[in-house]
Amino acid sequence: MDFNDTPEEAAFRAEARAWLEANAEPLAPGEQPASLEGRFDPEMVRKAQEWQRKKADAGWACITWPKEYGGRGATPIQAVIWSQEEARFKTPPNIFAIGQGMLGPTIMVHGTEEQKRRYLPPMLRGDEIWCQLFSEPAAGSDLAGLRTTAVRDGDDWIINGQKIWTTGAHYSKWGMIVTRTDPNAEKHRGITYFIVDMQSPGIEIRPIKQMNGMSSFNEVFFTDVRVPDRNRIGDVNDGWRCALTTLMNERHAIGGGAGGPEFRDLFRLARTVLWNGKPAIQDAGVRQRLADFYVRAKGLQYTSYRVQTALSRGQTPGPESSIGKLVGAPLRQNMAAFALDLEGAAAALLDRKAPEGALWQLAYLGSPGLRLAGGTDEILRNIIAERVLGLPPEIRVDKGIPFKDVPTGPRP
């Protein structure tokens, strides 16, 4: 048992590090990497694309992809090593993750050879940015309840409806959309998956203002949007299978919960903020809470080491890989609440004068979203219960009947 690379892994890490050192600037100690949060910024997109092209030219983009699409056929553990190394450098935020992490893999599994050759190389180079059009106002956790329709019209399909929680819709060239193509079929059987050009007439994009004041997501409205049939992924009415491939990859892509304050920030705060003239960490109650946070954060970190070990041994990680977000997101929220307790009345500030530059206030306001995006805590529990533990699903009232007869949204 150790934390060392194998000789092959060490050689790969050295190669990655050498390239990064020659092409990027290391983060200063304690410096946070650039975040995706915030308003749309064309300059940020340009910088991100520039960095992505540089990586692609040197063979460091989407390294696990096959060589024919621009990757280097790297192993999963090499991908982990690459991302560990890249995270030590100042790089623009990764605005390509949804395409490269979720949609690219879906095209690889369900797309035609022609589609793979057309879409994957520019996705890898960052020339074309992608967004995911899955959730709807009445279909979030219950994604298969989606109501956006696609109706066949000659060689085209006509799309009408609304999508929501779409990251990067406003700077994406392409979107992956799941639509209802047969409302008379059972819920999961009448769904079809398309690639849609985001510049098509009839698409309207409106940013969503989140509860923390930021806008990371959009609503996207479709009014008679035309999509050619050659942009269909998989068979007509077989889109649920493709969507599941995307969602399986989403859990890998979102898993970590990157950025934001960590235990060491909480520990620093407890050592510096004063309670009755003494550092708060001298309070026995504070110490008990700190210990529990530490044990939880470390448990998560060491669990990721176990996942990496499985990858390093060429095995598929076990179910332990599924707990990251379910633990990490509530942990962030709870640490933020505790940090604000430590700050005393100053916790009420969301101001430059707030302690630690309002680090914990921002985490407090942002963390509820982490528990919802990419699978709510409750859906993740269902996934663990059913797929990992083999427990039976809930009794369903929406199976075995045509979709159009399933009640949805507000009480009918």
Partner 1 sequence: MNFDFSDDQKLLRENVRSFLAKEAPLTLCRQVLETDGKYSTTLWQAVAAQGWLGTAIPEKYGGAGFGRLELAVIAEELGRVLAPIPFGSSVYLASEALLVAGTEEQKQRYLPRLSTGEAIGTLAHFEGAGDPGNRSLKSTVRNGKLSGEKTPVPDGEIADFALVTAKSGRDFGLAIVDLHTREVQREHLDSLDPSRSVAALRFERAPVEWLGGRPCGWDTLQHIFDRAAVLYAFEQLGGAQRAFEITREYTLNRYAFGRPIASFQALKHRLADWYVELELTRSNCYYGAWALSHEAPELAVAACGARVSATNTFELASKEMIQMHGGMGFTWEHDAHLFYRRARYLAAVLGPAPVWRERLVTCLERREEAS
HEC-encoded secondary structure of 129-149? CEEEECCECCECCCHHHCCCE
Residue 238 β-bridge partners:
191
**Token pair of 170 as six digits:** 């406003």
Pick one of 306, 399, 405, 407: the residue that binds partner 1 (CB under 8 A): 306
Told to judge if 250 belongs to the known catalytic residues of this protein, a careful annotator would answer yes
* Cα distance between residue 4 and residue 34, in whole Å: 28
* Cα distance between residue 192 and residue 243, in whole Å: 9
Query: 22: exposed, middle or buried (C-beta count within 10 Å: 0-12, 13-18, 19+)?
Result: exposed
Pick one of 310, 346, 365, 406: the residue that binds partner 1 (CB under 8 A): 310
**Token pair of 327 as six digits:** 């633990």
By CB under 8 A, tell whether 399 contacts partner 1.
Answer: no
Q: Binding segment for partner 1 among 216-224, 253-261, 303-311, 358-366 (CB under 8 A)?
A: 303-311
Question: x/- string (CB under 8 A) for partner 1, residues 320-359?
Answer: x--x--xx--------------------------------
In this structure, what are the phi and psi dihedrals at residue 222, rounded to the nearest 5 degrees? -115, 120
Exposure b/e, 56-75, CB count within 10 A at least 16 = b? beeebbbbebeeebbbeebb
Pick one of 201, 314, 392, 412: the residue that binds partner 1 (CB under 8 A): 392
Q: Which residues in the 1-40 window bind partner 1 by CB under 8 A?
A: 1-6, 9
Nearby residues of 32 by Cβ (< 8 Å), 6 or more positions away: 259
What is the residue whose two structure tokens read 């530490």?
A: 294
Q: Binding segment for partner 1 among 61-69, 227-235, 286-294, 337-345 (CB under 8 A)?
A: 286-294
Pick one of 22, 284, 345, 397: the residue that binds partner 1 (CB under 8 A): 284
Spot the catalytic one: 136, 250, 343, 356. Answer: 250
Contact present, 363 and 332 (Cβ < 8 Å): yes
**Token pair of 194 as six digits:** 């398309």
Question: DSSP secondary structure string, 156-190?
Answer: EEEEEEEEEEEETGGG-SEEEEEEES-TTSBGGGS
Q: Binding segment for partner 1 among 109-117, 247-255, 290-298, 348-356 (CB under 8 A)?
A: 290-298
* Cα distance between residue 83 and residue 190, in whole Å: 38
Pick one of 10, 14, 58, 391: the residue that binds partner 1 (CB under 8 A): 391
Q: What is the CB-side half-sphere exposure of residue 42 using CA atoms within 13 A?
A: 0
Shortest distance in whole angstroms from residue 165 CB to partner 1: 23
Q: Binding segment for partner 1 among 11-19, 143-151, 216-224, 382-390 (CB under 8 A)?
A: 382-390
**Token pair of 291 as six digits:** 């210990």
The residue among 81 and 198 lying less far from partner 1, judged by its C-beta, is: 81
What is the residue whose two structure tokens read 């809470």?
A: 289
The residue among 18 and 291 lying less far from partner 1, judged by its C-beta, is: 291
Question: x/- string (CB under 8 A) for partner 1, residues 57-96?
Answer: --------------------x-------------------
The residue among 14 and 349 lying less far from partner 1, judged by its C-beta, is: 14
Shortest distance in whole angstroms from residue 142 CB to partner 1: 14
Query: 388: exposed, middle or buried (C-beta count within 10 Å: 0-12, 13-18, 19+)?
Result: middle
**How many residues in the shown chain lie near partner 1 by CB under 8 A?**
54
Shortest distance in whole angstroms from residue 386 CB to partner 1: 8
By CB under 8 A, tell whether 296 contacts partner 1.
Answer: yes
Residues annotated as catalytic (active site), given as ranges: 250
Residues that bind partner 1 (CB under 8 A): 1-6, 9, 77, 267, 271, 281, 284, 287-288, 290-292, 294-296, 298-303, 305-306, 308-313, 319-320, 323, 326-327, 378, 380-382, 384-386, 388-395
